[in-house]
């Protein structure tokens, strides 16, 4: 069963006067699952085709290092494929070098 992710839209409160106004505001709750179902697919920048024409999707990764939480991205064919890629990273990930520039194809 997929987890339901909800986001409550809350204004940023800078002082006590703003906090008092919070009681007067209408709040909206967005169900990402329902929103995703109505759109049926991710935005274009999160989808691409591989060299064989198969669709790939961009997945977000998260990891802990000391007291901080860090993130990375990985392209995969499905959620299950993304999980397999993370497993492979746990077993064999290595630093290849520092990036200095990117040259388009």
Question: How far is CA 29 from each of CA 1, 4, 14, 26, rounded to the nearest angstrom?
Answer: 21, 12, 22, 10
Lowest-confidence segment of 20-24, 30-34, 101-105 by average pLDDT = 20-24
pTM of the model: 0.58
Contacts of 99 (CB under 8 A, 6+ apart): none
With a cut of 50, say whether residue 78 has pLDDT above it: yes
């Amino acid at each position: 069963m997929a987890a339901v992710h909800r986001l409550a839209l809350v204004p940023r409160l800078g002082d006590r006067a703003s906090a008092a106004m919070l009681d007067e505001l209408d709040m909206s709750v967005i169900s990402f699952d329902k929103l995703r179902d109505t759109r049926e697919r991710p935005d274009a920048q999160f989808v691409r085709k591989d060299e064989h024409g198969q669709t790939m999707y961009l997945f977000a990764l998260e990891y802990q290092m000391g007291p901080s939480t860090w993130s990375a991205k990985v392209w995969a064919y499905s959620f299950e494929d993304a999980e397999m890629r993370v497993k492979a990273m746990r077993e064999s990930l290595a630093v290849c070098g520092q990036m200095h520039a990117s040259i388009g194809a």
